[in-house]
Structure 1
Amino acid sequence: MKILISTDIEGVAGVVHHQQVRAGNPEYERARVLMAQEANAAIAGAFDGGATEVLVNDSHGDFRNMPAELLDPRARFVLGKPRYLGMMAGVDQGVQAVCMIGYHARAQGRGILAHTTNSFAFRRVLFDDVETGEAGMYGALAGEYGVPVVMCSGDDAFIEEHRALFPGAVFVQTKQATGQTSGISLSPAAAREAIRAGVATALRQPGRAAALVLRTPLQVRVQTQSPALADLFCQWPTLQRRAVDEIAFDAPSVEAAVRTINCLSAMSSLLR
Structure 2
Amino acid sequence: MKILISTDIEGVAGVVHHQQVRAGNPEYERARVLMAQEANAAIAGAFDAGATEVLVNDSHGDFRNMPAELLDARARFVLGKPRYLGMMAGVEQGVQAVCMVGYHSRAQGRGILAHTSNSFAFTRVRFHGEEVGEGAMYGALAGEYGVPVAMASGDDVFIAEHRSLFPDAVFVQTKQATGQTSGISLSPQAAREAIRAGVATALARPARPTPYVLRLPLAVRIQTQSPALADLFCQWPTLERLASDEIGFEAPTVEAAVRIVNCLSAMSALLR
The verdict on a shared fold, with TM-score over 0.5 as the criterion, is yes
Identity percentage of aligned residues = 85
How far the C-alpha of 1:206 sits from its partner, in A, is 3.7
Q: Given residue 268 of structure 1, which amino acid in structure 2 is its aligned partner? A: S
How far the C-alpha of 1:266 sits from its partner, in A, is 0.1
TM alignment of 1:38-117, pairs within 5 A: 38-117=38-117
CA distance in 1, matches of 2:207, 2:164: 17
Residue 37 of structure 2 corresponds to residue 21 of structure 1:
no
Provide, for residues 34-71 of structure 1, a one-character-per-residue CA deviation record: whole Å limited to 9, x for no partner: 00000000000000011000000000000000000000
Counterpart of 1:182 in structure 2 is: 182
Q: How many residues are matched?
A: 272
Residue 5 of structure 2 corresponds to residue 5 of structure 1:
yes
**Structure 1 runs not aligned, ≥5 long:** none
Q: Given residue 192 of structure 2, which amino acid in structure 1 is its aligned partner? A: R
Contact 1:106 1:116 in 2 (8 A): yes
- Structure 1 ranges of 4+ moved more than 4 A: none
Q: Given residue 153 of structure 1, which amino acid in structure 2 is its aligned partner? A: S
**Structure 2 runs not aligned, ≥5 long:** none
Provide, for residues 148-174 of structure 1, a one-character-per-residue CA deviation record: whole Å limited to 9, x for no partner: 000000000000000000000000000
Provide, for residues 212-271 of structure 1, a one-character-per-residue CA deviation record: whole Å limited to 9, x for no partner: 011000110000000000000000000000000000011000000000000000000000
Residue 30 of structure 2 corresponds to residue 30 of structure 1:
yes
Q: Given residue 74 of structure 2, which amino acid in structure 1 is its aligned partner? A: R
Q: Given residue 258 of structure 1, which amino acid in structure 2 is its aligned partner? A: V
Q: Given residue 106 of structure 2, which amino acid in structure 1 is its aligned partner? A: R
CA distance in 1, matches of 2:64, 2:267: 20
Contact 1:116 1:134 in 2 (8 A): yes
Counterpart of 1:197 in structure 2 is: 197
Q: Aligned to 2:250, what secondary structure does the other structure show?
A: strand
Q: Aligned to 2:142, what secondary structure does the other structure show?
A: helix
The 3 A distance-change label for structure 1 pair 95 and 208 is closer
Contact 1:104 1:158 in 2 (8 A): yes
How far the C-alpha of 1:208 sits from its partner, in A, is 4.4
C-alpha RMSD of matched pairs (Å) = 0.5
Q: Aligned to 1:99, what secondary structure does the other structure show?
A: strand
CA distance in 1, matches of 2:42, 2:195: 6
The 3 A distance-change label for structure 1 pair 16 and 249 is same
CA distance in 1, matches of 2:112, 2:53: 32
CA distance in 2, matches of 1:81, 1:160: 30
TM-score between the two structures when normalised by the length of structure 2: 1.00
CA distance in 2, matches of 1:45, 1:195: 7
How far the C-alpha of 1:207 sits from its partner, in A, is 2.6
CA distance in 1, matches of 2:96, 2:109: 30
TM-score between the two structures when normalised by the length of structure 1: 1.00
Contact 1:175 1:186 in 2 (8 A): yes
Q: Aligned to 1:221, what secondary structure does the other structure show?
A: strand
